Chain A
């Protein structure tokens, strides 16, 4: 899953970046409003935007409004120091999906991110079940026939991207976008390798190959 982190404070940004990457998200970090605009316009593949409001060059609210005016439906989690009720109302009405105040608890932030991504996938249940496979995104536990399966970080990232949109086909390029941020090197058949690994561990009926197009998990 690919996140856009918009945060001008360097100390906060560098820590959040590391922590999100430790959670196996691919994260791009921009430090002002105009760069956030540019990143959002250029790339449509963010699964979530973590947006600070007090930004130089362009305020976070303006970035948000511009996003929604473009019909960009990416979930937005606003994390800001602006705590007044009127600010919160303004943020939510401008198109934010959630509004969190600084200082926040990291685990709570991660849970909110998961909730937003779940909802944007059209799913309400936290736990994904398909035949004999159970997947819990919060705990990263995967059970096959009741036995736990161990996935690598990248395998998990591919799986998470696929079960986020059941019934939708994701091409190799799209999956690569989900896996890697700007700074990463991508090897050419990395995605195939991970899919292969997943099929071995989970069985072959969960991840379906759509010939010439990409991969998908079936709709439940």
Chain B
């Protein structure tokens, strides 16, 4: 676990390091301070003792005892010596150390007997009192004192570290929980992740993620619907094929066979067309960004090509198909998708116009207009015709019900609007695809 990549790691590392450093600093300072204070106290003690002793002379052991000096040889803490002005030692505590008379008054440090002594001397008219203490002993005692102040810090530090560890882990636990939740999911599980208990820094992220899940779920459901609808819609053409084959099997005379073969062929064409339309629709709905690159597409050119493709069918049916008006306009879009759009519109118009009728294609401004002299679409049906597989009652047998759904999908992708109205000129349907002005 690299420290820099883990929030938890980084927090723990720096916090624990800070705690340790602070503890060490605090301990060091406490130690030094304690030692300094101990020194002062000992000095003060020595001073008081010396001052207390100078008043009486000569000293007896009881006096010494009263002054707190322990004559016991075991206790080497303080060495007291008293001299007369002419240098005669009149008292000293029993000790193995033999200190020289020392002339400096007040506090001083003297090296003797392999160690350093702290000495305080005070002089009166009748005597000189000297109190000495072995610095090593003093340091030892001062050290013990200081350590006792540091003790609590040493105990608290690991406890504090544990608390920090616990708090950091606990605070980041919801994030770890979200991670486990998401990691445990199946590929198609798009239910929202629980946001409860998440810290403010993370919750917006999870919230946006849940919104994204919602969008994907909707798209996924739409796609599943599409597949189910498509499968259902294919049943009817396939049932027709099955029956048409049975009919062919039973046909006894050549004329009957011809009829049966003709029907079977028409049935296969219908099924094929349905599958093709399904694929086109699926691709159009799926690819928002995919597909060919956007380019400038000349609408009039598109119109001419479509009419060229469909003129055979129109003439065979006795429908007059033509380009009525063409502004030379280009729009930004995908050429093949726009071709499909145009083709579906014109194909619909030809299919639903009875023989002897007219279909006019026009490009006006940035709009495609396809008008026909057929029966048109009743007002109440104009919304529903865009539904997939919707067929108006009693309509043409060979339609798939997908043409307008495809046109709508492509128009929407290009930001264009699709309007169905009654054609004033021809009396049938007028289908207008209006592209945005700046395209």
Q: Are A12 and B393 in contact (CB under 8 A)?
A: no
Is residue A16 contacting chain B, with contact meaning CB distance below 8 A?
yes
Tally the A-B contacts, defined by beta carbons under 8 Å.
64
Main secondary structure of the interface of B (DSSP, over half): helix
Chain A residues with Cβ under 8 A from B393's Cβ?
32, 56-57
**A11-B263, A11-B267, A15-B263 given; A106·B243 CB < 8 A:** yes
Binds B, one of A43-51, A97-105, A111-119, A171-179: A97-105
Q: Are B270 and A11 in contact (CB under 8 A)?
A: yes
Give the interface centre of A11, A19, A22 by most chain B CB atoms within 10 Å: A11
Interface membership of chain A positions 69-92, coded 1 if the CB is closer than 8 angstroms to chain B and 0 otherwise? 000000000000111000000000
CB-CB nearest in chain A for B392: A56
Chain B residues with Cβ under 8 A from A213's Cβ?
none
Is residue A14 contacting chain B, with contact meaning CB distance below 8 A?
yes
Chain B residues with Cβ under 8 A from A14's Cβ?
263
Q: Are B236 and A9 in contact (CB under 8 A)?
A: yes
Chain B residues with Cβ under 8 A from A220's Cβ?
none
Cα–Cα distance between A15 and B262 once the two chains are bound (Å): 12
Chain B residues with Cβ under 8 A from A12's Cβ?
236, 239-240, 243
CB distance from A28 to the nearest CB of B (A): 18
Chain A residues with Cβ under 8 A from B391's Cβ?
56
Cα–Cα distance between A115 and B239 once the two chains are bound (Å): 22
CB-CB nearest in chain B for A11: B240
Is residue B293 contacting chain A, with contact meaning CB distance below 8 A?
no
Is residue A65 contacting chain B, with contact meaning CB distance below 8 A?
no
Give the interface centre of B232, B236, B246, B263 by most chain A CB atoms within 10 Å: B236
Q: Are A18 and B270 in contact (CB under 8 A)?
A: no
Is residue B405 contacting chain A, with contact meaning CB distance below 8 A?
no
Partner of A102, one of B239, B250, B270, B394: B239
Chain B residues with Cβ under 8 A from A104's Cβ?
239, 242
CB distance from B262 to the nearest CB of A (A): 11
Is residue B397 contacting chain A, with contact meaning CB distance below 8 A?
yes
Is residue B247 contacting chain A, with contact meaning CB distance below 8 A?
yes
Q: Are B397 and A11 in contact (CB under 8 A)?
A: yes
Q: Are A103 and B241 in contact (CB under 8 A)?
A: yes
For this complex, into which size category does the number of interface residues on chain A fall?
Answer: 20 to 34
Cα–Cα distance between A54 and B50 once the two chains are bound (Å): 122
Q: Are B247 and A18 in contact (CB under 8 A)?
A: yes
Chain A residues with Cβ under 8 A from B397's Cβ?
9-11
CB-CB nearest in chain A for B391: A56
CB distance from B9 to the nearest CB of A (A): 55
Is residue B238 contacting chain A, with contact meaning CB distance below 8 A?
yes
Is residue A31 contacting chain B, with contact meaning CB distance below 8 A?
yes
Chain A residues with Cβ under 8 A from B344's Cβ?
none
Partner of A103, one of B232, B239, B270, B394: B239
**A9-B397, A32-B393, A56-B393 given; A16·B236 CB < 8 A:** no
CB-CB nearest in chain A for B394: A56
CB distance from A106 to the nearest CB of B (A): 4
CB distance from A36 to the nearest CB of B (A): 13
Query: A residues 1-36 with Cβ under 8 Å of B?
Result: 9-12, 14-16, 18-19, 22, 31-32
Query: B residues 310-347 with Cβ under 8 Å of A?
Result: none
Cα–Cα distance between A56 and B247 once the two chains are bound (Å): 26
CB distance from A33 to the nearest CB of B (A): 10
CB distance from A139 to the nearest CB of B (A): 15
Chain A residues with Cβ under 8 A from B240's Cβ?
9, 11-12, 15
Q: Are B242 and A105 in contact (CB under 8 A)?
A: yes
Q: Are B250 and A103 in contact (CB under 8 A)?
A: no
Is residue B266 contacting chain A, with contact meaning CB distance below 8 A?
yes
CB-CB nearest in chain A for B266: A11
Chain A residues with Cβ under 8 A from B148's Cβ?
none
CB distance from B401 to the nearest CB of A (A): 12
Chain B residues with Cβ under 8 A from A103's Cβ?
235, 238-239, 241-243
Is residue B244 contacting chain A, with contact meaning CB distance below 8 A?
yes
Chain B residues with Cβ under 8 A from A107's Cβ?
246
CB distance from B355 to the nearest CB of A (A): 18
Partner of B236, one of A18, A22, A56, A102: A102
CB-CB nearest in chain B for A32: B393
Chain A residues with Cβ under 8 A from B250's Cβ?
19, 22
Chain B residues with Cβ under 8 A from A15's Cβ?
240, 243-244, 246-247, 263
Query: B residues 190-241 with Cβ under 8 Å of A?
Result: 232, 235-241
CB-CB nearest in chain B for A101: B235
Q: Are A19 and B247 in contact (CB under 8 A)?
A: yes
Cα–Cα distance between A197 and B236 once the two chains are bound (Å): 42
CB-CB nearest in chain A for B242: A103
Partner of A81, one of B235, B266, B267: B235
Between A and B, 29 residue pairs with Cβ closer than 8 Å are A9-B239, A9-B240, A11-B237, A11-B240, A11-B244, A11-B266, A12-B236, A15-B243, A15-B247, A15-B263, A16-B243, A18-B247, A19-B247, A19-B250, A31-B394, A32-B393, A32-B394, A56-B391, A81-B232, A81-B236, A81-B239, A102-B235, A102-B238, A103-B241, A103-B242, A104-B239, A105-B246, A106-B242, A106-B243
Known: A11-B237, A18-B247, A103-B235. 4 other contacts (CB 8 A): A9-B397, A14-B263, A15-B243, A57-B393
Q: Which A-B residue pairs are the 7 nearest by beta carbons?
A: A56-B393, A103-B239, A102-B239, A81-B235, A11-B240, A106-B246, A10-B397
